[in-house]
Amino acid sequence: MTRNHGTPSTGSTADGPGGSSPPPASGAGPAGPGTDPAGEAVERHTIDRVPETERHGRVRDLFTMWFGTNIAPLPLVTGAMAVQVFHQSFWSAVLAVIVGQLAGGVFMALHSAQGPQLGIPQMIQSRAQFGTVGALVIVVVAAGMYIAFFASNIVLAGQSLHGLAPAVPTNGGIVLGALGSAFICLVGYRLIHSLNKLATVVLGVGVVAGLGVVVVNGLPGDFFTRGGFTFAGWLASVSLSALWQLAFAPYVSDYSRYLPATVPTARTFWATYWGSCLGSSLSFLAGTVVALAAPVEDAQASFASAAGGFGPVLLGLFLFSVVNHNALNLYGASLSLITIWQTFRVGWTPRLAARVAVSGLVLAGAMAIALGMSRDFVANFVNLVNMLLIVLVPWTAINLIDFYLVHRGRYHLGDLFRADGGRYGRFNRVALSVYALGILVQVPFVSTELYTGPLVARLGGADLSWLIGLAVTAPLYYLWARRSGTEQTATAPAGHPAPRPATAPGTPVAPGSPEAAAHGSGLPDPAGHTPAGQS
């Protein structure tokens, strides 16, 4: 594991030594026009590759990005579930939170390290594993996840605003919170990072201060003896904590892709890992403390109530937090839906206008969902996260094994934007088969309100589905991909040229060659060759 995320930038900016060069930064190529310099406030890139000339930022920005993002009401509510839903004692819940966060954070941070090396969104990179059309399975799942989390968060925004100003109904707060997140999303990458730098300090101090007030005001005499320990409940709490990190896997490289490609992979990993694990652990543990100290269903309101006079300050901070945090969900949903549309409109390079239009559609749909789910939020959210666990685990296993062990960070990025998928094809039968199998093997071990697998009773009710999914999917994909040959695993269209050794970028190619044919098709040549007689 250490060798993988400590690997020197094997990820070359595109394919690395011996691979193809980055796609050209032109309006016709996937890198898009160079109209988004580092100093511009409003982000203009969407799913295209960020050119080297526009890379900016520092690795430590990833720490504040993920620490600030995770100081929010939703992880606080999720942390409270160890007590409210799984009936664990304080120390049992604390151990479950720490184990789950540290375990799940590994996978999340490994995804983050992909961003600077490739400069493209996570869902576009998934085309290298599943094919340009096959990846739609994953993109649709990710889009659904983003929309569900966006809806969940604006419910909390509505509750926070109603708590601060009772004259504002919760549904009115939901609408206002959604509009605030939409503004942040539309401005884009730079504002999201800037707000999370502020959130790291303001929200971190605020939550610690709030916990201090709760303790000073006095914990119940039986605080440490409330609840108990059951292995099934503890393991379910670990799973919930790990899933919180795993659910960020489709997000993270979207916020590291603007960093220079020369950034060491290990530094990207550790900045993301500790930022996310520490931030979410603080929120989860705050939820645990509050659920035991003031056992009511609404952990956010309970925290504000237990903090006494500091409560209104907490509600104000929570409102800022959820609006800020939720911009990531709207941003990710818009990129995912644009990716789906671009799959069928090859050659289209979407820009700011496309992101605005798609974000508006997501905003309207998510608000409708939120207004319908607010009455039974906790139950709906538990069901949501358990179902996400099933479909995210095999994807993250395949994506990470492919990046770190099979291709070692070297991809022909131009092919990811081709109509036929180039060497990655339209469908990768190996990856899709392993992905489906990775979901199926979890089914007997799933324990949710919607479905309970046949083997759950023998395990005392514990949900081991995510562990089974990882244990089966990761080695199976690695062995199958290596045996099939990484270039042969894709189902390429008939007549597609066989993989060829790449020559140096910019080398003239002969007319009629495969390289010249690729150029003449209007598609970006994966190797960045210049056909003879053309510039």
β-bridge partners, 509? 531
The domain locations on the chain are 2-388
In this structure, whether the domain defined by 2-388 belongs to CATH 1.10.10.60 is answered with: no
Residue 35 scores a pLDDT above 60: no
pLDDT at residue number 504: 37
| Backbone dihedral region for residue 18 (phi beyond 0: left; psi -120 to 50: alpha; all else: beta) | left
Q: Which is higher by pLDDT, 153 or 470?
A: 470
Give residue 65's identity as a one-letter amino acid code: M
CA dist., res. 285 & res. 66, Å (int)? 17
Q: Which residues pair with 228 in a beta bridge?
A: 88
How many Cβ atoms sit within 10 Å of the Cβ of residue 402?
25
pLDDT of residue 282: 96
pLDDT tops 70 at residue 472? yes
Q: Please, which pLDDT band fits residue 105 given cuts at 50, 70 and 90? A: very high
pLDDT for the residue 534: 31
Statement: residue 513 has pLDDT above 80: no
Residue 447: per-residue pLDDT: 81
Residue 405 clears pLDDT 90, i.e. is over it: yes
Kindly report which listed range (6-20, 160-174, 265-279, 450-464) carries the lowest average pLDDT score. 6-20
The torsion angles phi and psi of 140, rounded to 5 degrees, stand at -65, -40
CA dist 147 and 329 (Å) reads: 7
Mean predicted confidence (pLDDT) in 9-28: 37
Judge whether 139 and 319 are in contact, CB under 8 Å.
no
pLDDT digits (tens, 9 = 90+) for 302-334: 787 777 778 888 888 888 888 888 888 888 888
DSSP type of residue 458: G
Q: What's the mean per-residue pLDDT of the chain?
A: 78
Q: What is the pLDDT of residue 42?
A: 66
Q: What is the mean pLDDT of the segment spanning 45-59? A: 81
Exposure b/e, 418-454, CB count within 10 A at least 16 = b: bbbbbbbbbbbebbbebbebbbebbeebbbbeeeebe
pLDDT value, residue 34:
41
DSSP string, 224-270: TTSSB--HHHHHHHHHHHHHHHHTTTTTGGGGTTTS-TTS-HHHHHH
Burial code (b: 16+ CB inside 10 Å, e: under 16) for 469-485 equals bbebbbebbbeebeeee
Separation of alpha carbons 447 and 387, rounded Å: 10
In angstroms, what CA-CA distances link 261 with 50, 51, 116, 251?
A: 10, 10, 5, 18
Confidence of residue 11 (pLDDT cuts 50, 70, 90): very low
Residue 161, pLDDT score: 86
- pLDDT value at 376 more than 60: yes
Residue with tokens 């020559």: 503
Q: Tokens for 192, please give them.
A: 């999201």
Max avg pLDDT among 102-106, 181-185, 256-260, 481-485: 102-106
The rounded radius of gyration (Å) of the Cα atoms in the chain is 23
Output the pTM of the full model.
0.79
Residue 288, both tokens: 């645990």
> Which residue do the tokens 């060798």 mark?
3
Q: What is the mean pLDDT of residues 27-50?
A: 55
Which of 101-115, 282-296, 367-381, 488-502 reaches the highest mean pLDDT?
Answer: 101-115
63-89 pLDDT tens trace: 999 999 999 888 888 899 899 888 999
Q: How far is CA 328 from CA 171, 311, 323, 325, 473, in A?
A: 21, 26, 10, 6, 28
pLDDT tens-place string over residues 164-215: 888 888 889 888 988 998 898 888 778 888 898 998 999 999 999 989 988 8
Segment 122-139 shows an average pLDDT of 91
pLDDT digits (tens, 9 = 90+) for 225-246: 888 998 888 988 998 899 899 8
Burial class (CB in 10 A: 0-12, 13-18, 19+), 326: buried
Confirm if 15 and 502 have CB atoms less than 8 A apart: yes
Task: Give the CA distances from residue 231 to residues 25, 102, 462, in Å, rounded to whole numbers and listed in that order.
Answer: 54, 19, 7
